[in-house]
Chains A and B, each alone.
Chain A
Amino acid sequence: MTEKAHRVWSVTETMIHTSALTKHFTSRKSTVEAVRGIDLHVEAGEMVAILGPNGAGKSTTLRMLTTLLPPTSGTAQVVGFDVRTQPREVRARIGYVGQGTGSGYNQRGRDELISQGRAYGLDTDTARRRAAELISSLDLGSVADRRTSSLSGGQKRRLDVALGLVHTPRLLFLDEPSTGLDPQNRANLHEHIRKLRAEHDTTIVFTTHYLDEADQLAERVVVIDHGRIIADASPEQLKAEYAGDRITLAFDREDDAAAALPRLLGLAAGARGEHTGDRVVLRIDGGSRIAPKLLRDLDDAGLSVASVEIVRPTLDDVFLNLTGRSLRDAAAAEQPLTQENPA
């Protein structure tokens, strides 16, 4: 197959297609609506982050897509097969790196990789060769023949990724891949995921509650809150659409700040702003381009600006604008929404 043919083919293939995918957990008298009607479409070659606070329904969605949980209602096709009626077909074609440690506590990494290869139908020689390849490409050479319980968190995580890749799946799911890793190991893991993407054109779907992770790694961010998709676009589009740059102007006098706000809002179409004390905060797209014009106008009006700061928006600003809550606060405060069952 030529490079060109490969690309055309991969661009047009659907990897995930869900329709009104729903999961309710019922225990005693209460029902938790963990996932409330998700429509998700992922094409081959995409790198998608599912972002949301803890309890938003990210992992439940992933567990349905990987056949671990049967949906309450709705449908999901993964790599062309229905998760409910053709789970083995789905399992044979996807890779999965769960939240826990994928390798057995009393096993050796190399042994686990070989067993995993056998589980996916590789013959013993191929499984051995593939294990050696992955050990080398994920820098596990020094620890592959030790008991996995003696590995560090970063090494265990790389072994988990290796286990998910044994059969070279075209679609890889990662559930909170960098939770519990220090920044260095996280950066290292991101490097491996990017490499995988670049070398094999693997479709990657991962959940995260780290904004910077979604921002740096994904080309598309699906924001989930209370079991629903509330936004779905590239990080740049999300920021442009839902947040805008933040311009903070500090004035020498509070009166000047109060007088400046209406002028600024009149000048910058589409801007939102507020003033507190001697400061004015504006939210607007293309802040760095419009700032000089604003400063000239304020100067002409005799309002003296002491300092100006322009901050690019983060995905946290996006989440805040979408939900009225900061993602960091939401993660700590939110419980899954519960509702009394009428029965």
Chain B
Amino acid sequence: MSAPTSPITDTVTVFVRELRPVLRDPFSVVFSLVQPLIFLALFAPLLPGGLGGESTLQWFVPGIVVMSCLFATLSTGANLLFEIQLGSHERMLVSPLRRSALIVGRALKEIVPILVQTAIILLVTLPFGFRPHPLGALYGLLVLSVFSVGVGSLSYALALVSKDRHWLFWGVQQTLMFPLVLLAGIMLPVSGGPGWLQTLSLFNPLTYVVDAQRALFNGDLADPSVVWGTLASAAVAVVGLWVGIATMRRAD
């Protein structure tokens, strides 16, 4: 009694299924914000004044926004890891849902929590004097959404490869997370570091995303970093989705 579906319907079905638990337990989104907020409360005051020529918050908050996205999307594969282990993933593999929709629907859902998280970070920092440029912030969120779809997709691919080996998933996730954050200059500017570290940071796509967010939130919409950040996000999304779909197609 089943009827044919389109790739878009399949993707929406997976997207809605993934979103429902988030809507029913909104607190789960807030929970992954705890770490970024700790950095905001306990690390930002330690930063020297005048970073990037603006107030410390104007420099630090955009980086924390990116960090909260990275933390949430890099660990999102854990959900799929549980579904693989418990059996619901297998049930969906036997359904007529397209393999690509199983990845794309999940990855698109990542956008919702990161929008909520960013809104909370902005609400928390506004009273302390953070002033985001409205248009810049909106475009910044678009860039972040694209970036999150790519990272989320990679995290799901990692889960598919890890299967029942939780240690592999968390090992890779933890090993990647902090070098990415530090080399992107989220905590401290990389420009103050040695040459080799600056060179390494050039190979980190997150660097370009962070630089773009700083320019955008401060209203420098014409800054070249915006173009580079947009391109880096798009590249991460394309590579992430490609790897994710290919991995899902091979999944059994």
Residues of A within 8 A of B (CB): 63, 66-69, 88, 91-94, 96, 98-108, 111-112, 115-116, 118-122, 160, 163, 167-169
Shortest Cβ distance from A164 into B: residue: B91
Shortest Cβ distance from B6 into A: residue: A121
Cα–Cα, bound, A96→B92 (Å): 10
Set of chain B residues within 8 Å of A118, measured between Cβ atoms: 9, 12-13, 16
Would you call A108 and B93 a contact (CB within 8 A)? no
Shortest Cβ distance from B12 into A: residue: A118
> Digit string of B93-125 for contact with A (CB within 8 Å is 1, else 0)?
111111000000000000000000000000000
Would you call B94 and A67 a contact (CB within 8 A)? yes
A15–chain B nearest beta-carbon distance, Å = 16
Would you call B90 and A105 a contact (CB within 8 A)? no
B22–chain A nearest beta-carbon distance, Å = 9
Would you call B94 and A66 a contact (CB within 8 A)? yes
Check A121/B96 contact, CB under 8 A, given A108-B20, A115-B13: yes
Set of chain B residues within 8 Å of A88, measured between Cβ atoms: 96, 98
Would you call B95 and A119 a contact (CB within 8 A)? yes
Cα–Cα, bound, A111→B88 (Å): 13
Listed residue (B5, B93, B96) with the most chain A CB atoms within 10 angstroms of its CB:
B96
B17–chain A nearest beta-carbon distance, Å = 4
Would you call B10 and A100 a contact (CB within 8 A)? no
Cα–Cα, bound, A167→B2 (Å): 6
Would you call A100 and B88 a contact (CB within 8 A)? yes
Would you call B96 and A105 a contact (CB within 8 A)? no
How many chain B residues sit at the interface, stated as a range, is 20 to 34
Would you call B4 and A163 a contact (CB within 8 A)? no
Would you call A116 and B95 a contact (CB within 8 A)? yes
17 new A-B contacts at CB < 8 Å, known A119-B97, A120-B96: A88-B96, A92-B2, A92-B96, A98-B90, A99-B87, A103-B88, A104-B83, A104-B88, A105-B88, A106-B21, A108-B24, A118-B12, A119-B13, A120-B2, A120-B5, A121-B5, A122-B2
Q: Name the contact of A167 in the complex, choosing from B1, B4, B92, B252 (C-beta under 8 A).
A: B1
Q: List 21 A-B contacts (CB under 8 A).
A: A69-B252, A88-B98, A91-B94, A98-B87, A99-B87, A100-B86, A100-B87, A100-B91, A101-B87, A102-B91, A105-B82, A107-B21, A107-B88, A111-B20, A119-B10, A120-B96, A121-B3, A121-B9, A160-B91, A167-B1, A169-B2
Would you call B94 and A101 a contact (CB within 8 A)? no
Set of chain B residues within 8 Å of A112, measured between Cβ atoms: 17, 88
Shortest Cβ distance from B22 into A: residue: A106
B80–chain A nearest beta-carbon distance, Å = 10
